Structure 1
Amino acid sequence: MHTVAVLALDGVIAFDLATPLEVFARTRLPDGRTPYRVRVCGLTPTVESESFTLTPRHGLAALAEADTIILPGCADPAAPVPGEVIAALRAAAARGTRIASICTGAFVLAATGLLDGGRATTHWLAAPALAAGHPEIEVDPDVLYVDNGQFLTSAGAAAGLDLCLHLIRRDHGSAVAADCARLSVMPLEREGGQAQFIVHEQPPAPQGSVLEPLLAWLEDNTARELTLEDIAAQARMSTRTLNRRFREQVGTTPLQWLHRVRVRQAQYLLEATGHSVDRIADQVGFGSVTAFRERFKRVVGTSPQAYRTAFRNPERPELVRLGQS
C-alpha cells in the first residue's frame, strides 16, 4: 500500500491539510481496494493553527516510511523552516520519495533546496515573495500546479485538489481519478493557465437537477455530431433556456461541457488502447482530427500523442469505457 504522509507544521492552513487527507483516504480502485494509507505527521506533539490545536499521530520519523509527502501551506510563509524538517525532507528525497506542496507549502519545499533550478508555483499572492527569496527557482504564478516528476507544487486552495487528483491519476489512471473527482464534486471549469497534463474530470450535475438525464444522454452520445439545437430538442427546451440552465447548474455551456466529456473519453482511450489518434478522434465525436488535436491541447495542455507517450498503460484494461472493438 502506498503511504501518504501529510506534514503539519505550526500555522498549518486547515483547507490545505484536509484536502489530501480526504482525497487520498477516499480513493478506491475498481475492485474496491483502498490504495493509500494516509498519515498526519508533525515536528512536535502538538501543532498550533489559527483555529485549532492538532495532535498528530506520527512524528518526523514517519516521513522515512512514506512513498509520498504532502506539505500543506502555513499562514506565515516567511516563518523559518526548522532544521529537522529540512533534513528529514532531504533524506526522503534522496530515497526517491515523491514530495508535493500545496499553496504556501512551496516555501517549505523551497527551503530544502530541492526546487533549485526547476519550475514551481504557489498561491499567486505569495509568488513574488517566493521568487524574491529563492531566485534559483523559476516561479510561475499563472498555473494550477507544476509537476517536475519527483517534486510537485500547486497554487492555493482548490488547486491542491487538482494536484491530489493528478497524483492519483499518475498512480492509478484516469478512471480512478475521475471517480475521486466526482466524489469531490470537482469544479468543471478551471480557467487560466493550466499546467501541462492537467486532467479535467467531469462532475455530475447536482442530484435532483433537471439536467441529470440530459447529461447522461450526452455521455452516451458523444460520438454523434450534436449541435446546440440537437441538445435543446433532447432536453425539450429552447436553446436560450438550455444555456441558462447549464450556466446555473453546471457552470458552463452545453457545447463546452460536451467537448470536455469527449476529451476525457479520449484520455481513457489514449491510455488504455493502441487505437490511432485519427480513430480516437472519430470515436469520441470530433468531426476532424485537426479539431480534435486543437481541442485536446486547449483542455489538457499538450498533444494527444505526447499525452499517450506520458501516460500509456496497456495493462489497465478496466480503463477502456468505450470503443473496445
Structure 2
Amino acid sequence: MDIPRRPPAARVAVPLRAAGSLAGWGPEAVCIGTADVGWTGLARALGSRLGLAVEPLPPLLDSLVWDLRLPRVLMAALVGASLAVCGTVLQAVTRNALADPYLLGVSSGASAGAVTVLVLGVGASALGLTGGAFAGAVLSFALLLLLLRRTGPDSVRIVLTGVVVGQLFTALTSLVLMASADADTTRAVTHWLLGSMAPARWDTVTVCAIVTPLGLVAAWLCSNALDGLAFGTDTAASLGIGVRRTRTLLLVVTAVLTAVAVATVGAIGFVGLIVPHGVRFLVGPLHRVLLPCAALVGAVFLVWTDALARIAFAPREVPVGVITALLGVPLFLLVLRRRGDL
C-alpha cells in the first residue's frame, strides 16, 4: 500500500512556519485591541510578574494584559490545536473528509451537557462544567454511531445524521434554557454558545493546558493506526491494528478534547474541517506528520481569528465562532463540490 508523500522540504517548512507564526503572532495578539499595549508594555507586564527589575505597568493595564489577554491568547492556541486534531482524527476514523466535531454533533452534545450543568447548578466549577460537556459529547457521538449501525459511515449519510444529532442536542439546550434559566442567564449562555475566548481565565487555561497535550500525544501515538483506518477497517485489520480498540480510544480522545474546548469557550465550528484539509494538502496524509502540523496551524488560525473578532468591530466584540463560521461555510461548500456531493 503506497501512501502519497509530499517532498521532505514541505513537511519541514510547514511546521516551522506555523511555529514561527505562533511565536510571533501570539504576543502580537496580546498587544492589540481597543487599548493597545505594545511590545514594551507586554515585556514590562511579564517582567514584573517574573520578578525582574522592570518598571511595572499601571494596575489597570497590568490586569488587562495578565488577567484578560494573555489567558485568552493561550486558550485560543490550545483550543485551535485541539479542534484541528479532533477533525483530523475523525476524518480518518470515519473515512469522511467532511467530519469534524461540529458537523458530527459532538459540539452540540457537549454544549447541551455543559449548559445543563451550568443552568441547573449541578457544578459551576471548571471541572463540573467539563464533566457535563464530556457526558454530552459522549452521548451525542454514541447516538450518532447507533443511528449509523446499519448503513455504515457513508460520506453523505454520516454528515446528514450528524446534523440531525446536532439539532436534537441544540433543541435540548434550548429546552433547558427556556425551562430553567432567567433572562440574564439565557443571554449570557447564548453569547457563550456562539464561541468566545472572553471567558478564558488562568484556571480554565490550566485545565485545557493539561488535557490538550495529553490528547494530542494519545492521537499521535496512534498515527500508524490512523493511516490504516483511513483506508478502511479491512486494510487496518490486515496490518495488525486492533480496529475496535483503537477506534474506541480515538473516539474517547476526541470526545474529551471537544468537551474541554466547548466547556471553556463554547462551540466553535469549522476549525476541525478547514485546518486538516489545508494541512493535508501541504504535508500529505501521513498522520505522524499531519497531526502535529494540524495542531500548530489550528493554534495559529484561532489566534488570528480571535484577534480579528476583537478588533474588526471595536469596541464591540464579535464571538469568534461567528468568524470561523463565516470562513468555514464557503470552504465547506467547496469541499462538497470537489467531492461531487454538491
TM-score (norm 1): 0.27
Structure holding more strand per residue: 1
TM-score (norm 2): 0.26
Structure holding more helix per residue: 2
